[in-house]
Structure 1
Amino acid sequence: MTLIKTSLLNGIAVLVKMLTLLGLNKVLAVYVGPVGYASLGQFQNAIQMITTFASGAINTGVTKYTAEYHDDELKQQAVWRTAGTIVVVGSLFTSVIIALFSDSLASWVFGKEGLGGVFVWFAATLLLFTLNALLLAILNGKKELLRYVLSNIAGSVLAFVVTTGMSIYYGLYGALVALAVYQSINFFVTLLVCWEAPWFKVKYLFGEVDRGVLINFTKFTAMALTSATCVPISHILVRNHLGDTLGWAAAGYWEAIWRLSSAYLMLVTTTLSVYYLPKLSELKTYEGIKQEIIQGYKMILPCAAICGLVIYLFRDLIINLLFTDDFLPMRDLFAWQMFGDTLKIGSWILAYLMLGKAMFKLFIVTEVLGSVGFYVFSIWLSGIYGLEGVTIAHALTYALYWTVMIVFITRELKGMKLSTSE
């Protein structure tokens, strides 16, 4: 399937997800406010870390090797059985730990123990959460895009319905519980979508762990654990710093602009995940990889830049439509945030080659340095420019990250060209 076809079909799911997310922005803005936004961001980052550890951080590897072994069903099944066993064991163990230390986790994430019940809900549904992610990774690797799209649409609608209802009736606590459980509910939809697929059987998802597959997974586990640890922790630390120095409302404004960025960039980032990762995993030649990267820069980067410019020009209208008057101070954050988002996509087009070709050492080093750099830049620049300094730090971080990607990925491609020409 071509990049254009993938983008169009995936665009349907992304459009639905964008609309539901933007609708949720309005609901959350009304019922939880800027301070509540900061708490939601803290919990979302905690979920990212916990689910990655619980699943063994192997979903990217599942997608890669499912795509790579597209002509060998037995190898694919070995990948799935190994992954499924890791997910079940890891999730059950993690659930027990979360339940036992729920109050302590709430104290660290939210600054108070009264929200420990949110983590109990999360622990109770964690296994379904990670199994849903595993099935989606398999669908992605199998290039079952229609099923993948249907599952994601269902997940978006469920997220909107559950979060809206819980926020209206229970305020911030309800929104946090909804964030904890909605993807677990979506597992049943994803399972139903997969059930009729000719390749799907429950026995393929659990069983003996294949030693070779397990060794292959270790690279992706190292990469995913690094990302799942560094990025959320850096964001939590930045929010804590903003809360302590500028107030938790300021942290909420930053969370709001970050969520807006995530929403409008979703078409780009999901296309990278759904199209680029399987495609780059399959490609073996220098010319093939180079062509895909050039195509990405011709289509994806201009799209991201234009979207960012439009959002900047209509920022006042967007704040009025998607948020409330309480969020008007975030108006000053748009320029640098949109610029940084464009730099981010430019760098990610190259960075996905690290995932597709398992360049785990380069990935880990750049991920750690990028997260540390963002935190340090945020502390430094927010001290000079206030809240706007965090968005300047976002742009500066990705300008440096893109530069590093150009240097190292170009070197990698040149090495591939030399090896194939010998």
Structure 2
Amino acid sequence: MSPFGALKELIGRFCRSELVKVFSLSSVATLVKMLTGLISTKVVAVLIGPGGVALLGQLNNLVYIVQYLASGAINNGVVKYVSEHKGSVGKVRTLLTNALLVTVVCSLACGTAMIACHRRLSRWIMLSDEYGYIFIVFGVTVILYAFNMLLLSIVNGYREYKMFIRINVANSLAGLVFAVVLTLLYGLPGALIGATTYQSAVFFVTLYMVRRKPWARWSYFRGRIDRSIIRNYLKYALMTLVSIGTMPVAQILIRRYIMLDLSELEAGWWEAMNRISNIYLLVVTTSFSVYYLPRLSEITEPNEVRREIGKAFKVIIPLLLTGFVLVYLCRFLIIRILFTSEFLPMAKLFGWQMGSDLFKIGCYILTYVMIAKARTVVYVTTEIVFTIIYIGLACQLMQTSAGIIGVTQAGMAAYLLHMGVVYLYLRKIGYV
């Protein structure tokens, strides 16, 4: 075969791979989510400025943690076990019954705690007593978010990619309208209420879209209570809680430190950089949740796991590097489009942030193997240790001449170390 023919065949195999197909499909949902995120970010930046963006960042990190607590943090477990047993109706009914029980208990507990502690939360998270009502509203509505996440996890477990993506597109559009209208009507209070409730409001959109699915009948959630299934869910809950708790808590602590030690303005720049990072990384993280975790969960042979890891690196890293170059070259234009002239000094953060994000995605590709294979102890230990390293490095570098740039430098160093340690562990157990 000629070199041209070999190259053509290689490109053909690449384009026919399931990961690329899912990546292409998820890109549609990601594009919609990116556009809605861009519009929402612009509205918020114009109406409430860098200081308001910093406060909203504080709230978003807490919301992220509490929402997962309210869902029982079992969503990855639901994806794994539904994916494994989707051919057995009886087993799926037992799985969904126990998942619903965990979800209801955890969401009611979290909602009650939010309402009871609303004054303290306002003081600690928002640095003021005036935002207690936000946490009351959040406590009342968080159960709807938990139900929404359960439904999405079931769809994902059945590997119904197209349905999963349609639901995400609809949720993004509905969430945009909800959040932007509240911000336009009520300013900063509206933006804060929107941040805590929009993902609960879209539960009704998801429920409508899955209403014809066989598993959406109430009979699928009225099986027997099985303590062994609940214990298995709790293993995933522990890993998920560590995953979703460590980085948001780190960001809350670091942002608070920036606000108190540097300024709210610089905290706003850093939060704006995080928002941009979250937007362009959606392409990758959406594909991970739609394809990568269910696929890793259903395969058992180490050789197959190695092939999936290799495919993920070959597909994702080149796309990331290409995107990073474009984003870096257009950084000033991006800031002007998304924010205001007050945010232009954040351009100095882009290079270090994208280095951090590159190693972050490398970490995700490897640590998802530990999630899929329930390597709980090692996963929890590495997540906690490297989050502590990140916080320590960020505070240390911030106090030097690096200032706010030191935070992004700390992120890159911590993720590089994390990725290296996880790689060595997976190599030891035969998965890489």
- Asked if these proteins are the same fold (TM beyond 0.5), I'd say yes
Answer yes or no: is 1:388 the counterpart of 2:405.
yes
Amino acid at match of 2:294: P
Within the candidate set 406, 412, 417, 1:400 is matched to 417
The equivalent residue for 1:151 is 167
Amino acid at match of 2:255: R
The equivalent residue for 1:361 is 377
Quick one: percent identity of the two aligned structures?
A: 37
Amino acid at match of 2:404: L
Equivalent runs, 1:327-366 vs 2, <5 Å: 327-366=343-382
Whether the 8 Å CA contact 2:93–2:223 is kept in 1: the answer is no
The CA distance in 2 between the partners of 1:199 and 1:68, in whole Å, is: 15
1:205 Cα shift? 3.0
SS in 1 for 2:374: coil
Answer yes or no: is 1:312 the counterpart of 2:328.
yes
Change (3 A) 1:243 1:281: same
The CA distance in 1 between the partners of 2:313 and 2:78, in whole Å, is: 26
1:304 Cα shift? 1.3
The CA distance in 1 between the partners of 2:307 and 2:213, in whole Å, is: 32
Whether the 8 Å CA contact 2:92–2:220 is kept in 1: the answer is no
Within the candidate set 281, 286, 306, 1:270 is matched to 286
The equivalent residue for 2:36 is 20
Within the candidate set 49, 52, 57, 1:33 is matched to 49
Whether the 8 Å CA contact 1:61–1:217 is kept in 2: the answer is yes
The CA distance in 1 between the partners of 2:222 and 2:126, in whole Å, is: 36
1:88 Cα shift? 1.0
Deviations 1:130-165 (A, max 9, x none): 100111111111111122112111111122111111
Amino acid at match of 2:235: K
The CA distance in 2 between the partners of 1:208 and 1:50, in whole Å, is: 28
The CA distance in 1 between the partners of 2:165 and 2:361, in whole Å, is: 22
Amino acid at match of 1:72: S
Amino acid at match of 2:228: G
The CA distance in 2 between the partners of 1:361 and 1:9, in whole Å, is: 34
1:206 Cα shift? 5.1
Equivalent runs, 1:208-223 vs 2, <5 Å: 208-223=224-239
The CA distance in 2 between the partners of 1:205 and 1:84, in whole Å, is: 7
Deviations 1:302-341 (A, max 9, x none): 1112111211111011011111001011011001001111
The equivalent residue for 1:242 is 258
The CA distance in 1 between the partners of 2:259 and 2:34, in whole Å, is: 28
1:207 Cα shift? 5.4
Whether the 8 Å CA contact 1:66–1:79 is kept in 2: the answer is yes
The CA distance in 1 between the partners of 2:217 and 2:327, in whole Å, is: 45
1:362 Cα shift? 1.2
Amino acid at match of 1:398: Y
Amino acid at match of 2:418: Y
Deviations 1:197-221 (A, max 9, x none): 1232123235542112112112111
The CA distance in 2 between the partners of 1:103 and 1:208, in whole Å, is: 40
The equivalent residue for 1:420 is none
The equivalent residue for 1:64 is 80
1:48 Cα shift? 1.8
1:229 Cα shift? 2.5
1:67 Cα shift? 0.7
Within the candidate set 243, 251, 268, 1:252 is matched to 268
The equivalent residue for 2:177 is 161
The equivalent residue for 1:85 is 101
Whether the 8 Å CA contact 1:37–1:252 is kept in 2: the answer is yes
The CA distance in 2 between the partners of 1:397 and 1:54, in whole Å, is: 29
Amino acid at match of 1:36: G
Equivalent runs, 1:166-185 vs 2, <5 Å: 166-185=182-201
Within the candidate set 55, 66, 69, 2:71 is matched to 55
1:400 Cα shift? 0.5
The equivalent residue for 1:98 is 114
The CA distance in 1 between the partners of 2:75 and 2:196, in whole Å, is: 19
Amino acid at match of 1:379: C
1:44 Cα shift? 1.1
RMSD value, Cα: 1.4
Amino acid at match of 2:256: N
Bigger shift: residues 202-211 or 224-233 = 202-211
SS in 2 for 1:195: coil
The equivalent residue for 1:413 is 430
SS in 2 for 1:386: coil
1:73 Cα shift? 2.2
The CA distance in 1 between the partners of 2:215 and 2:113, in whole Å, is: 35
The CA distance in 1 between the partners of 2:243 and 2:30, in whole Å, is: 23
Whether the 8 Å CA contact 1:102–1:117 is kept in 2: the answer is yes
Bigger shift: residues 99-108 or 262-271 = 99-108
Whether the 8 Å CA contact 2:144–2:200 is kept in 1: the answer is yes
The CA distance in 1 between the partners of 2:25 and 2:71, in whole Å, is: 28
TM-score, normalization: structure 2? 0.93
Bigger shift: residues 200-209 or 319-328 = 200-209
Whether the 8 Å CA contact 1:309–1:338 is kept in 2: the answer is no
Bigger shift: residues 205-214 or 289-298 = 205-214
Unaligned runs of 5+ in 1: 418-422
1:79 Cα shift? 1.2
Amino acid at match of 2:413: L
Answer yes or no: is 1:298 the counterpart of 2:314.
yes
TM-score, normalization: structure 1? 0.96
The CA distance in 2 between the partners of 1:241 and 1:21, in whole Å, is: 26
The equivalent residue for 2:137 is 121
